[in-house]
Amino acid sequence: MNSLVILLQIGLALAVCSTAFADGVDGRDQEPQAAAADSRLPLRELRAFTQVFEQIRRGYVDEVDDTQLLENAIVGLLLELDPHSAYLDFSDYQDLQESASGEYGGLGIEVSAERGLIKVIAPIDGSPAKKIGIESGDLIIEINGQPVRSMALPKAIDKLRGEKGSAIDLEIYREGEDGPLPFTIIRDIIYNSAVRSRFLEPGIGYVRIAQFQEKSGSDFIAAIEKLDVQTSPDQPIRGLVIDLRNNPGGLVPAAVQIADALIDSGTIVYTEGRIASSNQRFEATPGDMLASVPVVVLINGGSASASEIVAGALQDHNRAAIVGTQSFGKGSVQTVMPLGDGRAVKLTTARYFTPSGRSIQALGIAPDIIVPRAEIRLLDAVPELREKDLQGHLPNIDDAQPGPALEDISDDNQLQEAVIILKGFNLLGGNPKPSAAPK
């Protein structure tokens, strides 16, 4: 049977399938004839497609496999819809799953390229690399007997990763050693959290969220609890900076969980689409982890999607001051639909709205306080004469000791402004509370 007949049969089958699909998602009884008319595929365009398909098969300068042609056609179906709908082949689907889960099979090391070699930035605590003795600053010179000099970093990372339980041989150059050090490491499942936390100065906490993975919500809650444990009764948390700059987004449930940790009641986000499952409303549960603590959220043009859900929810609830520059403006939700053979389709199925009903699609979140990224240069100061410089000055009888050294954030003006704003909230009596939560 020739390809033209096969494709026409496929088209007719798709018409039948699309009728059943429409009946199912609408949840309404329809007249069979009307349903068939609404979902009938355009036969003229289908014939044109099969003609083009056949012309390419027969006349293209190089032979192209039929399967590849059909796969290209699927790619084209999604390519023209919007920038975020896409066909995912086996490799793309694996990468997406890995990115969403934060888990991969590997050694547990952060690496970078240096002088044509692969440098270990740091081994992850508890990882196979850490347990076997890989150290920060080590240079990987061979992977499974293959020199890595001038090997592209992504290719080297692909070689370092692999299935749990598989072995990999590395040769390491370490400063101070007489020669290369051989290591055989058994790969394991590595979890790389996208959430990092620390104190910028006493009482001012900082949480960086690089993307929204499956465990980012629980990781955020754990980070806040960890910061709280590190404080003392006389020096509690006085402010929190949540850094969402250049966070491209990720999973909506993680964004909802993070916003819920700081919002006591009301809507966090809602979505609207053509099918019933795309219309959802996410509500906050009672309790605010940091009820009396002011919060600043940093955003910029690289903050997108789930980042904008968090920023929009906290802004609408007056729970945080949004600082930085306009966000990216991706106000749509994508659903990943597995095809059952290791491939999948990522399809835009809904738009999301902030609690007050704002759609930020192609607009973004406008910060409450605009702070563009800038380079700070202190003016040359003329030395000033002070009391302590005068000969014979009276000593200070206060026994107070200098406070702990503060983290140097002089190269990040937006982060500096966030800390200043938090101090201002404290001076003015804490975080302002909303008169009523958006419903």
The pTM (predicted TM-score) of the whole model is: 0.84
How far is the CA of 335 from the CAs of 233, 278, 330, 332, 372, in angstroms? 46, 9, 14, 10, 34
Bridge-based pairing of strands 295-299 and 321-324 is parallel
Q: How far apart are CA 231 and CA 243, in angstroms?
A: 21
Structural domains present in the chain = 3-64 (no CATH), 103-191 (2.30.42.10), 195-370 (3.90.226.10)
Mean predicted confidence (pLDDT) in 163-178 = 95
> Is 305 considered catalytic here?
yes
pLDDT of residue 39: 60
Residue 238 CB: number of other CB atoms within 10 A?
19
Identify the active-site residue in 216, 260, 330, 332.
330
Helix (H) or strand (E) holding 78, with range, is helix 66-79
Q: Which of 39, 127, 197, 305 is catalytic?
A: 305
pLDDT tens-digit readout, 311-352 = 999 999 999 999 999 999 999 999 999 998 999 999 999 999
% of the chain residues with pLDDT over 70: 87
3-state secondary structure of 217: helix
* Catalytic site includes residue 226: no
Q: What is the C-alpha separation between 74 and 67, in angstroms, rounded?
A: 11
Pick the catalytic residue: 316, 327, 332, 346? 316
Residue range 294-315: average pLDDT? Answer: 97
Please say if 155 is a catalytic residue.
Answer: no
Residue 242, number of CB atoms within 10 A of its CB: 28
Residue 20 phi, psi dihedral angles, 5° rounding:
-60, -40
pLDDT in tens, 228-258: 988 877 778 999 999 999 999 999 999 999 9
Chain segment 354-378, per-residue pLDDT in tens: 999 999 999 999 999 999 999 888 7
Strand partners, 267: 283
